[in-house]
Structure 1
Amino acid sequence: MKQNLLYALVVVLVTVLQGNAQNDTIVLKNNNTIVGTMKEMNNGVLTIETDYSKDDFRIKWLHVKKVKSMQLFLINLSNGRRFNGSIKMSEEQPNEVLLVNEDETLTVKVDEIVYFKEVESDFISRVDAEVSVGFNFTKLNNLAQLTINSKISYTGSKWFFNGGYNRVSSSQDNVESTIRTDATLGSRYFLKKDWFALASANFLSNDEQKLKLRTAIQGGIGKYIIHSNKMYLASGGGLAWNNERYTDADINNRNSLEAFVSVEANLFDFDDFDLYTHVTGYPSLTESGRFRTDLNVTAKYDLPFNLFIKLGLTYNYDNKPVEGASTNDYVFQATFGWDTD
């Protein structure tokens, strides 16, 4: 009797575990089939976790022919809509996908899905982070340069948060050391039709422009103009409050109200290569004729084991700097790093 009861309990336990195991079936266009758990599709790449492989599979989303899954996902469409539900390939039209939840069923093209991730994912799994370091040394005059570049982001159902830290320091015999540090904190609240509200804080310390600390607090609205599996292009604008303190104690602090207009582009359909560009212009509303520009261009090449090589250019321009300071400053960085993707 006890053995029969124990056997029944084991059967029930196995059945429950099998029911909870979220095995997705993915059929590729070459008719290969993968059974596992779809974790995320981002930047046109689908990540699949399987029991029979130590590492996750990474497959281009547009190479997928059919999908069968009962998981719940947070799904972003190219028209800006966000949908919580499951994903299933249409049996009648191979290039169409059915998005299903308790309230409705949507039929969309495969390439209209630009992002999805498990709804049940814990906080850590929604965080993406990377850090990279570069070091140069020249025997002549003992020139040494150290570069640290890092960023972190979190994607929720309605919110996106990001932060970044970038530092370049240089020392040389008989020359005063120089340091350039910039950091960002930002958030976006997703609205309908690919619109979003934005808020951010930018910080810059720059010896070349005699800035002990520049703090710019921004708020505004933006829109994804292009949002696909190959790239996204977004633009935004609003108001910024700019506070500047200088390394020279004889220079008074400056405060100004500025407008800002920004353009951001990310191209990622180049196998292991990504290209990111972000430029912002700041016409001052309280200082007549003043205009500032911040530019960032980053090229990243992915290596095995989540390693990467990155080349970056950061440029700052101010047509009315304080006396003795340069109107512009730029830094070129080559770093080697690791990310969580």
Structure 2
Amino acid sequence: MRAPSYKITNQSFLTLLIFHFLLLLPILLKAQKTDIVILDNGDRLTGEIKWMEQAVLKFNTDAMSYIDIKWKKIVYLKTTNSFRVENSDGSLFFGMLETDSLKKELIVGIGSKANRVDMDDVVEISEVKDTFRKGLNLSVDLGFTYTKASDIVQFNLSGDGGYSTLYWDRNFSFRSVLTLQNDTSFTKNQNVKVTLYRLLPNKYFLTGFAGATQNTELGLKMRLSFGGGGGRHLLRTNNSILRAAIGLQGTREWQYGTSEVKNNLESVFAAGYEKFMLFTPKLNINISIQAYPNLTETGRYRIDFDAKIKWELIKDLFWGITFYDNFDSKPPQESSGEGQNDYGITLSLGWKY
């Protein structure tokens, strides 16, 4: 039996060619890296601008993959992608980027609607992302210790991440500290928190948050919390951030050994400080404190304190030490006889994406 034959006309061939071109178009566009950066030593780089924070521009090239460039070393850059730019007074600008090298200004946008920002006043640049995966940044720390003399095994896992779009920032964090002693005593201190920020002019912001906490030492089987408030960045530069916030939150608590459930309303007072030392080696210091006076249970208040120092060992790999203290003036159950505090120090290795 003779196989059927097909005649390919010029029109059908052109249609087929256009069809395959449209299929490949997203790949071709993704492969293009046409952003330009020129350094003060005359070096010209072509690639893709990812973001700028802590006075470091993250730049992606085909030849060298991701590289870090000191912001003060850049004399010219240009990109046709859309970015969000924040300056030191909290103002936000959106659009394509180019620099005026003579005036040392960053031009955000095009034409008569473009804004000019002094290069030294730029605090952060983040791309307006079209997908969650592209916009996600993530840091994970892992630690393990064993002490033979006291037969204590401790495992800790922590991390944080974020995702930004236009006027919104979304952050999450988690920590888990599990301790086993003499094969008989097992304690855990675990929490996870999700926070949403709506950025406002003059460094102000609105925030909403939700979280879950477990703490064996304080007899807390589970605490669910949700709330909101507002705050302000008191200091925001390329190497330091100081912020404060106030708000209200509702909590629902379960304790060990009883089916009783407690519902509480708490006020929230929070402050945080971050300090960055950017090169040789990179060093990050992060300190936060939250106070929760209870508005439902008279005389009860809680305080959470965290301090973390992280050193970069090699690119994107960090060694860290963390001190934490969780205080409750009237804990659900003083099950371990240790009173009102649960505190500890953890060592870890971390990776940043």
Q: TM-score range by the shorter chain?
A: 0.7 to 0.9
AA of the residue aligned to 2:233: Y
Partner of residue 154 from structure 1, selected from 141, 155, 163: 163
- Conserved in 2, the CA contact under 8 Å of 1:22 and 1:70? no
Partner of residue 240 from structure 1, selected from 238, 242, 249: 249
Alpha-carbon distance in 2 for matches of 1:230, 1:209:
37
Counterparts of 1:1-341 in structure 2, within 5 Å, are 21-53=32-64, 55-93=65-103, 95-101=104-110, 104-119=113-128, 122-140=131-149, 142-173=151-182, 175-249=184-258, 252-271=260-279, 272-322=282-332, 324=334, 326-340=339-353
Cα-to-partner distance string for 1:3-44 (whole Å, 9 max, x where unaligned): xxx9xx9xxx9xx979x9442222223333322221111222
Cα pair distance change 1:226/1:177, threshold 3 Å: same
**Same amino acid, percent of matched pairs:** 26
Alpha-carbon distance in 1 for matches of 2:209, 2:34:
40
AA of the residue aligned to 1:97: L
Alpha-carbon distance in 1 for matches of 2:327, 2:315:
38
- Deviation of the 1:174 alpha carbon: 5.7
When the two structures are superposed, what TM-score results if normalisation uses the length of structure 1? 0.87
Query: Aligned-residue CA RMSD in angstroms?
Result: 2.7
- Conserved in 2, the CA contact under 8 Å of 1:231 and 1:269? no
AA of the residue aligned to 1:254: K
Alpha-carbon distance in 2 for matches of 1:98, 1:151:
32
When the two structures are superposed, what TM-score results if normalisation uses the length of structure 2? 0.84
Cα-to-partner distance string for 1:274-294 (whole Å, 9 max, x where unaligned): 111111111122222322111
Which is greater in Rg?
2
Task: Extract unaligned runs of 5+ from structure 1.
Answer: none
AA of the residue aligned to 2:342: D
Off by >4 Å, runs of 4+ in structure 1 = none
Cα-to-partner distance string for 1:147-191 (whole Å, 9 max, x where unaligned): 111223211112211222211111122642112211111111122
Give the match's secondary structure for 1:52: coil
- Conserved in 2, the CA contact under 8 Å of 1:308 and 1:338? yes
Task: Extract unaligned runs of 5+ from structure 2.
Answer: 1-9
Moved more, 151-160 or 258-267: 151-160
Alpha-carbon distance in 2 for matches of 1:227, 1:39:
21
- Conserved in 2, the CA contact under 8 Å of 1:22 and 1:71? no
